[in-house]
C-alpha cells in the first residue's frame, strides 16, 4: 500500500501544503497568500488567526488534489518562517497582538537596550546569535511591553509565546502539543546553543517567564498528532525551521556541504558538523537533531531576495510577475553601473546595520527600467558573495560549490551570474522545493517510511550545473562597485527626525 507524507509549509508571503508519495513525487498541493501588515515604516506583522486558517485550508486542498484521505497519510512534517513570534492566551487561544515578522525592525530599541545593559556579549556567547531585532526574544518582549497587563498575565501563567511552528502545532493537535524543535529554538535568541534548552539567565534578563515557552524537542521527535484537525491520528514526525529544512532537503548531511535559498529572504547555510563554529558576521545555529545526533550550521541571512522582485512587481510595477525579471534583465548586457541595494529594513549578514535603507545608485540619463530590473537581479548575487566572503575569509570553511534552491533559481541568468561572481559551480537540483521536501523527508525518516539518511541522499538529483565563465578581474570589479554602493546606505535613518 502506498505511503503518503503531508508537508506543512508556513512561509512569510504564503502558506502551502504538499502531499508526496514514498518515491518523493508530488501528488497534491495547496497554497494561499498571506496578508502583510505594515503599521509603520520598517514594521511587518501577520494575523496569526489568518495563518492558522489558511494553513488548515491548504492542507485540506492538498489532500483533495491528491485524492487521498487523512487515513492514507503516514506522517506530516512542518517547516516555517522561523523568527516570527507571537503571544496568545492559554485559556482561549486568542493572540494578544499580531505576530511580529522576522524582518520587522520595530523591536530594534529593545535589543539596543539589552546591549546597553551589558548583556550583548552574553547573548552571543550563549546563543551564538548577534543581538538583533531579527530574532524572536525581542518580539516577545515588545508585545509584553505594549499590551496592557501582559507582563503580569505572563508571570501568572496565563499567556503562551512561540514561533509559528509552535502556534500551528498547539492548535492543530487540539492544544495538546506545546512544542518546538532545536532548529527553531536556536533562532529565538533564548536557547543555549550547547544545552539545547532555554537559557534561564537570559530569560531573566529579558523578563520572559520560562512558563510561556514551549518544550524543545529533537527535529525528528513525535511532536503530536493531527487527529483533532483531520480526524485521523496523523503523526507530526518532523519540525524544522525553513532554512534548516532547506539544508536537509539538499542532502547536505556532511560537514562543509552548503546551500543558498533564494526565497522571500536569501539564506546561506553551511553544515559545520557536531560542534558550533563562530565566524564574524554570520551565526552558528542548530541545523537539526536527527537520530540522536545534533548537526550545527553556519548561517547568513539576507532580508530581501525574492522580496526585491515583489517590490519591483507590486510597488514599482516594473514587471508583471517575478519570473519576468529574467527576460527583462537579459535585454541589457549590464546595468551600466547601476546598483540596487535592497536594504528595505536594514542590512543583514554579514554587515548588520538596522539603520541602513535601500538605494538605487549610479543612475544616469541613459538608465532605463531594464537596467534597474537587472540591478535587482544582480543584487541577489552580490549579497550572496558578501556572505560567502565572510564564511571563507578566515580559512575555517571552504565552499567548493553552491547548491541552490527557492523559487528564484528557475532564473538561469541569476544562476549563471552567481557562478560568475563567486567563481565556483552553482548546482541546481531537479527539485527546487528543498525546504518543504526537507521537512517531509525527515518526517518519513522518523516514522519508518525511509530507512536511512543514505536513502534520502539517493533521492537528491542534479538538474543543471552552472560553471563560472566570467574572468576574475571582471567579477571582482563588479563586486567592488557593489561594496561601494552598499557602504553608502549604512546608518541612513539613525539621525533622521521621526515623523
- pLDDT confidence band for 495 (50 / 70 / 90): confident
Residue 307 and residue 11: Cα distance in Å, rounded? Answer: 13
Out of 3.20.20.80, 1.10.600.10, 3.10.20.600, 3.30.420.40, the CATH code matching 250-499 is 3.30.420.40
Global pTM reads: 0.87
Query: Is 499's pLDDT higher than 70?
Result: no
Left (φ > 0), alpha (ψ -120 to 50) or beta: where does 183 sit? alpha
Handedness of CA 465, 469, 474, 476 (dihedral sign): positive
pLDDT of residue 48: 98
Stretch 415-431: mean pLDDT:
96
Q: Domain 4-234, what fold?
A: Nucleotidyltransferase; domain 5 (3.30.420)
Q: Domain coordinates of the chain in residue numbers?
A: 4-234, 250-499
pLDDT reported for residue 171: 97
Q: What is the full DSSP assignment across 47-103? A: -HHHHHHHHHHHHHHHHHHHT--GGGEEEEEEEE-SS-EEEEETTT--BSSPEEPTT
Residue 305 pLDDT greater than 90, yes or no: no
Instruction: Tell me: pLDDT of 480 over 60.
Output: yes
Supply 105's cell numbers: 525592525
Q: What is the DSSP string of 291-344?
A: TTEEEEEEEEEES-SHHHHHIIIIIS---SSTTHHHHHHTTSSS-TT-EEE--B
Q: Is the pLDDT of residue 498 over 70?
A: no
Q: What is the pLDDT of residues 26-85, one digit of tens each?
A: 999 999 999 999 999 889 999 999 999 999 999 999 999 999 999 999 999 999 999 999
The alpha-helical segments, DSSP class H, found in 147-266 are 150-155, 164-172, 182-185, 200-206, 227-230, 242-249
Mean pLDDT of 432-439: 90
Closest listed residue to residue 249, CA positions, set 36, 414, 446, 461: 461
State pLDDT tens for residues 437-455: 999 999 999 999 999 999 9
What DSSP string runs through 432-476? S-HHHHHHHHHHHHHTTSS--HHHHHTT--EEEEE---S-HHHHH
According to the model, what pLDDT value does residue 418 have? Answer: 97
Residue of 121 and 1 predicted with greater confidence:
121
Residue 361 CA: distances (Å) to CA of 15, 132, 325: 35, 27, 19
Q: What rounded mean pLDDT belongs to the chain?
A: 94
Contacts of 180 (CB under 8 A, 6+ apart): 162, 163, 165, 166, 214, 215, 216, 217, 239
**pLDDT above 70 as % of the chain:** 99
- Torsion sign over Cα 22, 26, 27, 30: positive
Q: Dump pLDDT digits (tens) for 92-134.
A: 999 999 999 998 999 999 999 999 999 999 999 999 998 999 9
Contacts (Cβ under 8 Å, ≥6 apart) of 471: none
Question: What confidence score (pLDDT) does residue 494 get?
Answer: 84
* 361 close to 338: Cβ distance less than 8 angstroms: yes
pLDDT of residue 407: 83
In the chain, what percentage of residues exceed pLDDT 90? 85
pLDDT value for 293:
96
pLDDT at 228: 87
| b/e burial code for range 99-134 (CB count within 10 A of at least 16 → b) | bbbbbbbbbbebbeebeeeebeebbbebbbbbbbbb
- Can 4-234 and 250-499 be said to share one CATH topology? yes
Question: Does residue 373 surpass a pLDDT of 90?
Answer: yes
Amino acid at each position: 500500500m502506498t505511503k503518503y507524507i503531508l508537508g506543512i509549509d508556513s512561509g512569510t508571503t504564503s502558506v502551502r501544503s504538499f502531499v508526496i508519495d514514498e518515491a518523493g513525487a508530488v501528488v497534491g498541493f495547496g497554497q494561499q497568500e498571506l496578508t502583510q501588515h505594515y503599521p509603520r515604516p520598517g514594521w511587518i506583522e501577520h494575523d496569526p488567526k489568518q495563518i492558522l486558517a489558511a494553513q488548515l485550508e491548504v492542507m485540506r486542498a492538498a489532500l483533495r488534489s491528491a485524492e487521498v484521505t487523512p487515513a492514507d497519510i503516514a506522517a506530516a512534517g512542518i517547516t516555517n518562517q522561523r523568527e516570527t513570534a507571537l503571544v496568545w492566551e492559554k485559556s482561549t487561544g486568542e493572540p494578544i497582538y499580531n505576530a511580529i515578522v522576522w524582518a520587522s525592525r520595530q523591536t530594534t530599541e529593545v535589543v539596543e537596550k539589552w546591549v546597553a545593559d551589558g548583556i550583548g556579549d552574553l547573548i552571543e556567547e550563549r546563543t551564538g546569535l548577534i543581538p538583533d531585532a531579527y530574532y524572536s526574544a525581542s518580539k516577545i518582549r515588545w508585545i509584553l511591553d505594549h499590551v496592557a497587563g501582559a507582563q503580569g498575565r505572563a508571570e501568572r501563567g496565563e499567556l503562551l509565546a512561540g514561533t509559528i511552528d509552535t502556534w500551528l502545532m498547539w492548535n492543530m493537535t487540539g492544544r495538546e502539543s506545546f512544542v518546538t524543535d532545536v532548529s527553531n529554538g536556536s533562532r529565538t535568541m533564548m536557547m543555549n546553543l550547547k544545552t539545547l534548552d532555554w537559557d534561564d539567565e537570559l530569560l531573566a534578563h529579558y523578563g520572559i517567564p520560562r512558563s510561556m515557552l514551549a518544550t524543545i524537542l529533537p527535529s525528528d521527535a513525535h511532536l503530536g498528532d493531527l487527529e483533532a484537525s483531520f480526524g485521523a491520528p496523523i503523526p507530526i514526525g518532523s519540525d524544522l525551521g525553513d532554512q534548516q529544512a532547506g539544508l536537509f532537503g539538499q542532502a547536505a548531511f556532511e560537514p562543509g556541504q552548503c546551500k543558498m535559498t533564494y526565497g522571500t529572504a536569501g539564506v546561506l547555510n553551511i553544515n559545520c558538523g557536531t560542534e558550533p563554529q563562530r565566524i564574524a558576521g554570520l551565526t552558528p545555529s542548530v541545523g537539526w537533531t536527527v537520530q540522536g545526533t545534533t548537526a550545527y550550521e553556519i548561517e547568513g541571512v539576507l532580508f530581501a531576495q525574492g522580496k526585491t522582485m515583489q517590490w519591483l512587481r507590486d510597488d514599482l510595477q516594473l514587471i508583471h510577475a517575478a519570473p519576468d525579471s529574467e527576460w527583462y534583465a537579459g535585454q541589457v548586457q549590464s546595468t551600466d553601473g547601476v546598483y540596487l541595494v535592497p536594504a528595505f529594513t536594514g542590512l543583514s549578514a554579514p554587515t548588520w546595520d538596522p539603520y541602513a535603507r535601500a538605494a538605487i545608485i549610479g543612475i544616469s540619463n541613459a538608465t532605463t527600467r531594464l537596467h534597474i530590473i537587472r540591478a535587482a537581479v544582480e543584487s541577489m548575487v552580490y549579497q550572496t558573495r558578501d556572505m560567502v566572503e565572510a564564511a571563507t575569509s578566515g580559512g575555517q570553511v571552504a565552499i567548493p560549490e553552491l547548491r541552490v534552491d527557492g523559487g528564484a533559481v528557475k532564473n538561469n541568468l541569476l544562476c549563471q551570474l552567481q557562478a560568475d561572481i563567486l567563481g565556483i559551480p552553482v548546482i541546481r537540483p531537479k527539485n527546487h522545493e528543498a525546504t518543504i521536501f526537507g521537512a517531509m523527508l525527515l518526517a518519513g525518516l522518523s516514522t519508518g517510511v525511509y530507512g536511512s539518511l543514505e536513502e534520502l541522499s539517493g533521492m537528491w538529483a542534479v538538474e543543471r550545473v552552472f560553471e563560472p565563465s566570467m574572468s576574475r578581474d571582471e567579477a571582482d570589479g563588479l563586486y567592488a562597485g557593489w561594496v561601494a554602493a552598499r557602504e553608502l546606505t549604512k546608518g541612513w535613518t539613525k539621525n533622521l527626525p521621526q515623523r
